[in-house]
Amino acid sequence: MSDRQPLPGTVPLLRLYIAGESPGARRALANAKRLVSALDGRVHIEVIDILATPEVAETADILATPTLSDDSTDPPRRLIGDISNIAEVLSYFGYSRKDIAS
């Protein structure tokens, strides 16, 4: 898999689908912040609460939370569940391990 190369001047966008203020949602949010930090802000994560906007989840075919999604691919590349292993998450979405902050 090749390293992800966004267009010049753009920041890659991932979407994190969560369900309210559950413990799983809070963990996913904390891990999303770690992911952004690991890439020194070179990725943006949009958080979508499916309880507040169920129509968005339905349109995106989200069946479980938390789900981290890269909708720039067709079909979207999705990781469902635990995203605490930042190295594995970055690898899954095509970011080089050299991008990981120590």
**DSSP label at 97?**
G
- The answer to whether residue 48 sits within a structural domain is yes
Q: What Å distances lie between residue 8 and 12, 42, 55, CA to CA?
A: 11, 12, 32
Q: Which domain holds residue 72?
A: 13-97
Who wins on pLDDT, 35 or 102? Answer: 35
38 contacts 100 by C-beta, under 8 angstroms = yes
Q: How many domains in the chain? A: 1
29, 40 contact by CB (below 8 A): no
What per-residue confidence (pLDDT) applies to 10?
Answer: 58
How does pLDDT run across 49-92, given as a tens digit for each residue?
999 999 999 999 999 999 999 988 888 899 999 999 999 999 99
* 82 phi/psi in degrees, rounded to 5: -65, 125
Mean pLDDT of 94-101: 58
pTM of the model: 0.83
Task: Give the helix ranges, DSSP H, for 11-98.
Answer: 23-38, 54-59, 86-92
Within-domain flag for 102: no
Domain assignment present for residue 59? The answer is yes
89 against 99, higher pLDDT: 89
Query: Residue 102: what pLDDT?
Result: 40
Determine, yes or no, domain membership for 87: yes
